[in-house]
Structure 1
Amino acid sequence: MSLRKTTIIAGLLFIIGTIAGILSIAPAIDAPDYLFKASANANQVIIASIFQFIMAVAYVGFAFLMYPILRKFNKGLAIGFIGFRFIAGVFNIIGVIAILLLLILSQEFIKAGAPDSSYFHTLGVLLRAGRDLVNHVAMILVHSLGGLILYYIFYKTKLVPRWLSGWGLIGTVLTMLASLLVMFQFIDIITPIYIVLSLPMALLEMILAIWLIVKGFNTSVIYSGYKCGIAKL
């Protein structure tokens, strides 16, 4: 595959992953009365889980496309990048399983006549908390570690303009900060602080995707045979 086709597909995967991530939101699962609503909106929950799976495939696919290019500059960092993104994909799949388990729990709750028994509610709370920690903490942190490697290589090699890669580094750090604040319960998910910290990265990914599709990489960097080791990067 030519370099130009690779960058176009990479940009498209970025966009697909972002759109799939938005469509993976399931209001029925996030509602206060989710034990009732999840079962009543089973199709919504299933569709959300499908889109989360698509998001995982898109982001892992992006990593595999980037690996042959990144390894030209630093094989070790390239392996680290693809490794972190693969692990993030695994966490994404765990998130898919969690949302489907919540649907099953809701269906069993309704079949049991919506009892007041606390074990349904306790299990639901644990599943929802686990899903949130997987999606918004574990997956994001590991994904971001890969992002730090990616944007660091971009910045040092000038594969894309440094204002883009610099933005990526700052946005990634802010995203990780948001996840850490959620993990230690300083903030909740989908709060003004969380959104403000996450927004720069979300905007950057869309701009980078468009850049890859329209402009692609700085080919002079790649075709010049530029090589650098860890010390130089």
Structure 2
Amino acid sequence: MDSSKSIGRIVGILFIIGTAAGILSVVFTQPVLKESDVLVKVSANEQQFITGLVFLLIMGFSLAWVPIMMYPVLKKYNKILAVGYVVFRGGIETVAYLITGIFWILIAVLGKQYANATASDAAGYKILSDLLMEGAKRSTAVTMIVFSLGAIILYYSLFKSKLIPTWLSVWGLLSIVLYLGAGVYALFKPSVDILLMPLALQEMVMAVWLIAKGFNRSEIIHKQVKMEV
């Protein structure tokens, strides 16, 4: 089988796994994290919360493999951008997901201890909880910004290389502007999730396209011929 088509299919599958895991992470954790008394809710729904954390890590690691898989293809067009994509999405973004995960783990541990805390200790636990929640929110916002920068590199590279249809690349570039805006806004205010929807839909359409057709084979052959001349 054509290696570029195989890579395209793997990338498409990774996007679907990452997006599905991200959605499930939100489904399992947000009902807990959005409660006013987080520690009580976490303590009462520990397994649900931990499941959401696992899905967060699955999302982070599956998406970290996307730039690694795409590097051999993208470097033929622009090695600097290919390396930049690996650094942002394979490195910095993965670390950001891990930091968010650490905050969630600490919240879960604190919730378990809070369940057995005395009334005199409760205030201290709540202060720690507020600090951890604020840290998790800021970490999530930073992750969104880092993700956006990596996505800009990806879609610009795909637009210039024509490895996927132009309309898909342009859709991605336009959507990422909204996503980046949501990330910056989330540093100061509650996130506006509707701004994330255009990119989520674009990624799923692109994933299906890559699984079905892979990267544009004619452009890859054309590039190889130019490199050999």
Fold agreement, TM-score > 0.5: yes
Q: 2:57: which partner in 1?
A: 53
Taking the aligned partners of 2:217 and 2:120, their CA distance within structure 1 comes to 64
Taking the aligned partners of 2:168 and 2:139, their CA distance within structure 1 comes to 28
Q: 1:111: which partner in 2?
A: 116
| Among 73, 76, 99, the residue aligned to 1:72 | 76
Taking the aligned partners of 1:145 and 1:132, their CA distance within structure 2 comes to 19
| Among 127, 132, 157, the residue aligned to 1:127 | 132
Unaligned runs of 5+ in 1: 229-233
Length, aligned pairs only: 221
> Is the Cα contact below 8 Å between 1:160 and 1:218 reproduced in 2?
yes
Taking the aligned partners of 1:225 and 1:156, their CA distance within structure 2 comes to 12
Unaligned runs of 5+ in 2: none
1:203: how far off? 0.7
Q: Cα deviations across residues 169-209 of structure 1 (Å, max 9, x unaligned)?
A: 11111100011112133xx12xxxx1332111111111111
Q: 1:183: which partner in 2?
A: 187
3-state SS of the aligned residue for 1:17? helix
Q: 1:195: which partner in 2?
A: 193
Paired residues for 1:1-233 under 5 Å: 2-25=3-26, 26=29, 27-85=31-89, 86-113=91-118, 115=120, 117-135=122-140, 137-185=141-189, 188-189=190-191, 194-225=192-223
Taking the aligned partners of 2:4 and 2:105, their CA distance within structure 1 comes to 39
Q: What amino acid is the match of 1:6? A: I
Q: Cα deviations across residues 35-67 of structure 1 (Å, max 9, x unaligned)?
A: 111011111111111111100111001111011
> Is the Cα contact below 8 Å between 1:29 and 1:102 reproduced in 2?
no
> Is the Cα contact below 8 Å between 1:73 and 1:226 reproduced in 2?
no
Q: What amino acid is the match of 1:16? A: I
> Is the Cα contact below 8 Å between 1:36 and 1:110 reproduced in 2?
yes
Taking the aligned partners of 2:87 and 2:225, their CA distance within structure 1 comes to 22
Name which of structure 1's ranges 26-35 and 114-123 shifts more when overlaid on structure 2: 114-123
> Is the Cα contact below 8 Å between 1:175 and 1:197 reproduced in 2?
yes
Give me the TM-score of the superposition, normalised by structure 1.
0.90
Give me the TM-score of the superposition, normalised by structure 2.
0.91
Taking the aligned partners of 1:80 and 1:125, their CA distance within structure 2 comes to 35
